[in-house]
Amino acid sequence: MIDLHTHSIFSDGVLIPSELVRRAETVGLKAIGLTDHGDSSNIDFIIPRIAEVADELNRVLGIKVIPGIEITHVPPQLIAGVAETARKLGAKIIIAHGETIVEPVTPGTNKAALESDIDILAHPGLISEEEVIAAKKRGILLEISARKGHALTNGHVAGLAKKHGAGLVINTDTHEPGDMIDSNQALRVVLGAGLTEKDFHAMQKNAETFL
């Protein structure tokens, strides 16, 4: 199991990065992305520190740690610039916080994110067919989320992604220890979205590209 979307105390998570990674290791994760919430106010603080601890942990642990950021609630017209800066600061995974139906995300966020240098569009809510096609063309992965609330539209995202051949990934959006899941539970989330075990393995292969 690879989980590319988690949060530490550098945003609204409850664990320091080292404990977050250790807990991920104990549930059997092969790799973890540290992707705290960011905008122009904090990415220059978060990313270098996450990159530093990831480098340290990768020298001594079996689990692979990938430094990243989740661009969160940034106005659509600013997303591209924030993504560019994040990449220069050392983010190996750039996630955009999509238009989940349980938060007041600005309309147009999905479209702007898909036109930017991102890797994953997280919990994209009631994403349109045109946006799914754009994700396919750009090679941007769409997230199937294990997090409550965000998971409400997993079936919609999965259906359109399958229809148009867009890449998918399963993530937890972990904020605290109870959010972590093992591969068996991740498979159940994928099956619950109307996908198959074959799709689950394809999603894990998509995640492996970041290793």
- Report how many domains make up the chain: 1
Whole-number pLDDT of residue 73:
98
**Global confidence as pTM:** 0.98
Torsion, CA 12, CA 150, CA 105, CA 10, rounded to 10: 10
- What backbone phi and psi angles, to 5 degrees, belong to 145? -105, 140
Whole-number pLDDT of residue 204:
98
The string of pLDDT tens digits covering residues 50-82 is 999 999 999 999 999 999 999 999 999 999 999
Cα–Cα dist 168/203, whole Å: 6
Cα–Cα dist 172/124, whole Å: 14
Q: Tell me, what CATH number does 29's domain have?
A: 3.20.20.140
Residues of the chain with pLDDT under 50: none
Domain of 131, in residue numbers: 2-208
